Each structure stands twice: as C-alpha cells, then as structure tokens.
Structure 1
C-alpha cells in the first residue's frame, strides 16, 4: 500500500513538471541552443546506444556548445577544441564541480573522495598527497625496485605453472600483480597472496564497482526517484564498497596499533597529516582515497 502511494506521488510530481515544461514555466532563458525537448524525458531519446556519436551529430546542427535536457537534468555539451580549452583551462574553477552519479553516494564515498569533491580544503589536501606520493617522478623512481620485484614474482608464478602444466589466467595474474604493487605503495604489504591463484573475489568486487558506476541509472536523470533507488544501483554499490572499505579499515587499525613504527608509505603520510591537521582530512577521507587508487589501478 505504501509503495502504491509513493508511486502515485512520484507520478503526480512528474506530471506537474511535464505540464510546466510544455508551457515553459521555470525554463531557463539563457541556455545555448539545443534540440527540441519532449515532456518528461527531454532529449534522452536522442542519445541512443552510442552517445558520443549521437552528440557529435547533434553538434553539427546545434553548434559546439549546446544544451540538452536529460530527464530532469539540464546538461551543457562542449564539442569543440576551442570551447573545451575555454572550459578546462580558463574557466576551470567555474566548471570543476560536476554531477555525481547517485550510485557513488553509497557509503558517503562522493563526500570524501578526491575524484568527486568540489574544490575545497579536503580536495586540495588529498590532491597534494597523490601528486607528492604517487604520481611524482621521485615517487616513481623510489618504487622502481618494488615494481621489479612484483614483475619477478609474476614471472616466477608463470614459470611454476608451466613446469606443472597448469594454465595461467593472464588477466587475474596481472590484476594480482598490479594490486599488490599498489597495496605495497600504500600499506607496505600484499593484500592478496602473490604466489597462489588468489584475488578472484577481490577482482570480482572491483569489477562489479566499475560496472555499477557505469550503468545508466534512472535516478541520475530523475533525482525525485533517489529515495526509491528503483534499479538498486546504490544498494549494490553500498555492498561492494563495504567489502573493500572493510579491508582498508582493518589495515589502518593494524597500523595504528603499531604506534611509532614507521613504514614511510602512503598510509604513514596520511596518518601524519591527520595527526598534525585533523581539520583537513580524517580516516574516511583516506579510505576513499585508497578506494579511488584501487579503481584507477584496475
């Protein structure tokens, strides 16, 4: 009965919005040109199964800067090099905050992730950590021996499988190697056994997260459905995020119990920042930072 009431309220809301749309009530007047919009769905029907190609064709008619109405979301499409340069270089602060897919709000990830935070103190701190300790030339040179070691372990695993006439799942072996390389950079330890055919479950969880993040979700086009989560994307993402974040929590707690024993890894850097400047970031920020690192590495 409650579900029927909720659906009825949502339907009435959408119907009212569609009526306003048809008569132009509340429609912004200063938007760039764009294709004709249908009630309720707007321009969603024009995207097709190859959105990048559809947008390129629409740009030929409506110009390099055009507006689309994707459900309830007004979207600005930039499709020329000059316009992109203006947006990404000259007006980067104005356009840096972006729409966050609803599924990525699971476990409050978007509120603490360097990938989704707006420009703020937390974002600057997390970005500085990555630039200084992961992406800098000094960090890459410092980890050269570690990379060599992990490649040698991969070769040894393949050689062992060859001697025993076992098959090698190249995808899983490469994932295990890159995962342990990153986990050693962050935690100074392997998160999965480098010598056994392990890591299948972890790989499946990471793959599931990426699949859920990339799925079309009605809530992203009709935010009024957010509380219902009709496709269950956020619920599933909460489950997958929870599994990975649990591992990170355990590793952080293990490090905290070690006290002053230093490892000079990314986790040490983050914990020192939290100790010196607790108002900048907290443990939830670094858990989300590590989650982003794992997804990018995958």
Structure 2
C-alpha cells in the first residue's frame, strides 16, 4: 500500500507537472504564433506588390491576349498598365519595361542582379547547353568567354588583322550585284548570304578556299536558317516546363540534330586548321589575313587562366558569331535600304558624302568610314526606328528585387521594350519620322552604342551588352556604303514599298525589299 500510495502520488505529481509544462509550452507557442502572424502581416504591408498587368486565365495566364507582333502588343498594353507590367505566359512570369528610367534600374543600377538568363529550350539546345556568351549565366565561365570575345576577337588589333578577309568579300558582293544589273534583287536575301560569307571568311577564311569554302557555305546557310526558324517557334515546353520532358513539338530533338550537324562542320574545320603546317605560312601573310579561328586556337593553347577556353567554349563562340551576327546585320542593312528608297533625298545626301570622301574612281574601304558622319547618323537612325532585337535578350534576376516600386521575383523573365523606348515622344522629337540629322547635332553626341543613354540602347547596356558592337558597326557601315557608292537603286515598276514589320527574335520586314541596281561608277574595272 505504501508503494501503491507513493506510486499514485508520483504519478499524480507527474500529471500536474506535465500539465504545467504543457500549458507553458502552449502559451509560448501561442505567443510565437501571434508574433509571427503580426510580423508577417506587417512585412506583407511593407513588401512591394507585383507590377500591374492584365488578368489571366487559370493555367494559360495571358497567352490568349497576345498578338503575333509582340512589340506592338506590349506597346498597347503599356498604355493601359504603365511602363512596368507583368504577364503570365502559362506558368512563366514575365515583366515588360517600357521607360528609360526603369531600363536604367535593371541594366545599370542592379546590373549584377539582372545579369542572368533564362534560355528557351531551343536556344539552350543549339548552344551546347547554353554555355555560350549569349545564354551563359553570369559567372566565371561567362566572364572568361566575354573577355576573350570582347578584348581579343573584337579588339582593334584583331579586327585590323582580318580586314583583308572582309575586303575581299565586300568586293565579291559588288561583283555579284553587278552581274545582276537591271534585275530586281531581294536585298534581305542577298544581305544574308553576303553577311554569312563575310562571317565565315573572318572565322576560318585562312583555312578553307575555293569550292570547299563555297560548299560549306551552302551547308551552313541551311543549318543557320533552320536554327533561326526553330527559335521563332512557340514552344509548349517553355510555357509549361512541367511538360518539357515530353518535347511535344519535337523542338528539342530537332535542335540536337541541328547542333550535331553544325558541330560536325566546325570539328572538320578545326581539324584542318590543326593539321596545317605553321612553318609553311609566311608571317607577313598570316598577320595580314588572320582569321578568328586562328586567334581562338592560339588562345586555347597559350592563353592564361583568364583567357583559356575549352574546345566546347571555343565552338560555342564560333556559333555565336555566325548565328548572332548574320541575321542581325543583314536585317539592319535591309531596313536602311528600305528607308532610303522611301526617302530618296536622304539617299542622295548620303551618296554625295561618300563620293566626296571616296571619289568616283575608287571603291569604299574601311579607312573611309570614320569620315562618313552622315552615313553613321543614317545607321543610328535605322537602329532607332528598327532595333534589331526589339526586346533585347531577356534578363533574369537571381534574387527577388524591387524595380519601380514593384517586386520582381527571382527567375522572372524581364523584357526591355527597346522598340517602345526608341519611339517615345518624351525622348524623341517627331519619333516616327526617319531623320538621320537628329544624330548630327552637338546635343546628340551622347547617343552612341555603349548603352549610357537609356533612351537609345539598340545593343543593350551593362555587362550583358552585345559583345560584337565593333564588328557589327564596321560591317554594317562598310556594306551599306559600298552598295550606295557603287550603285543607284530603283523600285521596280508595279511594286509598292512596304515598311511594315514582322516580329521575331530579329525584327524584320514583313515584305522583303526587292529593288533594282544601276551602276554609278564609270570605271567598269571596279566591278570585276
């Protein structure tokens, strides 16, 4: 009984103690819960909301309100919801910015936060898993490739070394146009082929010659065109990542086949270059016509830790130059020619300037370009009205951030609507008119391609600004000056000029420009 009594008292005491501790624990938990709820509500009040935007449907989001010409669609929506707005495309959150101040916040003030990418499946597939300069995430690997691209390939020394290669291709273009005198020419198509030949010559012109180079050009042309077409297709796997493993449209499978095809071509060229006996190449000739592949292989062999590339990175850079330069530069030249056909007085003014600098007994050379200020203004005005990449390459914040008083969650695709920025009446006088003179006044000296003025950013700004600006500027000016100096251009009878746009990764003319060349130079030898 003593034992039982003791046991009962002990058990009873334990119950009381357990109850006391339970009450204390529940009280503490209640206090913590109440405190947490109060703090959460206070934080939610302080936390910035998401940007405004149109209401969407479950699962689909805002997909059904989008129009084919997205730059026009986004411009109309911005008038309703303001210069920063959100759109839900399937499960993907997107934010569109349409003002210089907001562009500056993302591209300059918070550059490090927004310097990442969210590549589409097609883009990632055809660039060795997105390891190139365009799609690589901000980090050591990207910085190495960017340094090689910007400081090595795009340096004045490198570009000067391969000038002879560019010169021979531009002269070949003049010869080809002359063979079609009096015949209507599709300028966009001709420019694409010219630019592709130019880029291939600069990439590996010292390795391939004659028929071998021509046959390779045909093959690459086909692959590049299909890569571009593939990238333009709406991919269900991008809109609904949960379905990506199914590859419903077969875009990823096709992209892998195209990459394998291109990889085989590049491997073949690299193998030929590595087998070439360096002792048989004269030093002077090598310096005069040195191509990019030679630069890259030398860097891979002799570069330090900050410039040494893997073979995959080297090939990704070559693909960037071909894919990123061909379509964009040829489209700019076509738009410039289209505007000149619409404004013959501007064409005459530009031709007069070129004639004064070059003379009628010579062909245009790159040494003339620095003195063609009106032509330079003409190209800048073309890129203002018709920016090559109307939204730039989308930026993606690596952490949640605040822009314009709104929260931009991590992983959001952020589009800068450059097309709208360049037509903003608050920034530009008579913004819809083609006026190269606006880039000639002292007031507008600040409008360069370096992205420091956020009312004019055709190549972007910040650390992800286009790395190929020096080459794009040289080639656009050189080709355009050569076309204007060597030929007069006329619209064929019965054809009306159409300056409507077709949206895509690259902003193109909806109707191809078809015009007829007439010789300007009296010396026929300059054409052959």
- The Cα of 1:228 is off from its aligned counterpart by 0.8
SS at match of 1:83: helix
Check whether the contact 1:66–1:77 (CA below 8 A) recurs between aligned residues.
yes
- The Cα of 1:229 is off from its aligned counterpart by 0.8
Summarize the Cα distance change of 1:247–1:74 in structure 2 as closer, same or farther, 3 Å threshold: same
Larger Rg over CA atoms: 2
User: Could you tell me which residue of structure 2 aligns to residue 270 of structure 1?
Assistant: 296
CA distance in 2, matches of 1:198, 1:86: 45
User: Could you tell me which residue of structure 2 aligns to residue 52 of structure 1?
Assistant: 71
1:144 counterpart = 2:150: no
User: Could you tell me which residue of structure 1 aligns to residue 94 of structure 2?
Assistant: 75
The CA deviation string for residues 146-167 of structure 1, in whole angstroms up to 9 with x for no partner, is 22222233344556x569xx99
- The Cα of 1:217 is off from its aligned counterpart by 0.9
SS at match of 2:128: helix
The CA deviation string for residues 180-207 of structure 1, in whole angstroms up to 9 with x for no partner, is 3323322223477499698444322211
- The Cα of 1:286 is off from its aligned counterpart by 1.0
1:208 counterpart = 2:236: no
Summarize the Cα distance change of 1:167–1:242 in structure 2 as closer, same or farther, 3 Å threshold: farther
1:182 counterpart = 2:199: yes
CA distance in 1, matches of 2:305, 2:119: 26
SS at match of 1:226: helix
CA distance in 1, matches of 2:161, 2:253: 40
How much is the aligned-residue C-alpha RMSD, in angstroms? 3.3
- The Cα of 1:169 is off from its aligned counterpart by 7.9
- The Cα of 1:84 is off from its aligned counterpart by 0.9
Check whether the contact 2:52–2:81 (CA below 8 A) recurs between aligned residues.
yes
1:235 counterpart = 2:263: no
Summarize the Cα distance change of 1:37–1:149 in structure 2 as closer, same or farther, 3 Å threshold: same
Check whether the contact 1:34–1:62 (CA below 8 A) recurs between aligned residues.
yes
User: Could you tell me which residue of structure 1 aligns to residue 236 of structure 2?
Assistant: 218
SS at match of 1:37: coil
- The Cα of 1:99 is off from its aligned counterpart by 1.6
Q: Mark the runs of 5 or more structure 1 residues left unpaired by the alignment.
A: 1-27
CA distance in 2, matches of 1:173, 1:54: 31
CA distance in 2, matches of 1:211, 1:283: 27
Q: Which has the higher contact order (CA 8 A, sep 6+)?
A: 2
CA distance in 1, matches of 2:322, 2:60: 35
The alignment's TM-score, normalised by the length of structure 1, stands at 0.77
User: What are the residue-to-residue correspondences of 1:60-139 with 2, within 5 Å?
Assistant: 60-106=79-125, 109-139=128-158
CA distance in 2, matches of 1:64, 1:170: 36
CA distance in 1, matches of 2:146, 2:199: 17
User: Could you tell me which residue of structure 2 aligns to residue 15 of structure 1?
Assistant: none
User: Could you tell me which residue of structure 2 aligns to residue 297 of structure 1?
Assistant: 325
Summarize the Cα distance change of 1:174–1:192 in structure 2 as closer, same or farther, 3 Å threshold: farther
- The Cα of 1:69 is off from its aligned counterpart by 1.1
SS at match of 2:245: coil
